[in-house]
Amino acid sequence: MKIVHLSDLHISSTYYVPEWGETVLTQLNDINPELLVVTGDLTMEGYMHEYDLVKDYFNKIKMENILVVPGNHDSRNEGFKIFKELFQTRFPKLQNNRIAIVGVDSSEPDIDDGHVGRENYNFISDNLSNKDKVKILALHHHLIPIPGTGRERNIPTDAGNLLELCNQIEINLVLSGHKHKPWLWKLENTYYITAGTATTRRLKGKSYPSFNVIEIAENEVILTEINVETKTSREIIRFLIG
């Protein structure tokens, strides 16, 4: 099974590069994943006219299974309400015979910091309790600090509790974005995968626009990074799962 993990498109931003946006659409068709996961920041300020651009972009994606969670930029200016209208929910979930995935809204209106809230912990655990499936949690904010991204302020205020929950229910993968820098941490038996920005020039240092492809085989996960600018790929890691 193939999953494409995109993040931080900022389609309405002046930093957005239309050529890169079209490249992502083309590569989605070439990869033909069973699932697309987008971990937030589709807009820059959460305005209605920005969501119109997002809607036009997503209408070009010819996929049946798309799971999207909002980012802090999407929740600005009451944009979280428009997000829900467009994508039906801020807490999506999906299961098939191979995976169980839950998305949670870690954003707070007009605040860059993250928060999930203990009222949502049962939702996560109830839907990610099947030991026979690969269990995936998707949210915008990263749970562990990412080096080279400045003073840490935006980790969810309840990150410690979420990390404990991930460990307790044995989540395999946690997908996030927010910092515009691809990164990977492993804590206990969980891999925390952060995607970079796929379509903007809001890049760290000499980095490049990118997104991830996660291939889940029978007992192995392969993580590949796609460079949107050069249209090349490189394998990041492969690891065994139970």
DSSP assignment, residue 205? T
Sign of CA dihedral 41, 14, 182, 28: positive
What's residue 131's pLDDT?
Answer: 86
What's residue 155's pLDDT?
Answer: 85
Q: State which residues form the domain around 108.
A: 2-240
Q: What strands lie across the sheet with 93-95, from one edge to the other?
A: 93-95, 99-103, 134-138, 173-176, 190-194, 183-187
Instruction: Output the pTM of the full model.
Output: 0.97
Q: Total domain count for the chain?
A: 1
CA separation (Å) from 35 to 13, 65, 130? 26, 5, 19
Average pLDDT estimate for 51-69? 96
User: Which backbone phi and psi does 65 adopt, to 5 degrees?
Assistant: -110, 105
Dihedral of the CA atoms 203, 12, 8, 73 (nearest 10)? 110
Banded pLDDT at 105 (limits 50, 70, 90):
very high
Supply the CATH number for residue 158's domain.
3.60.21.10
Report the C-alpha gap between 236 and 224 in whole angstroms.
5
Q: Tell how far CA 195 is from the center of its chain.
A: 7
Across all residues in the chain, what is the average pLDDT? 95
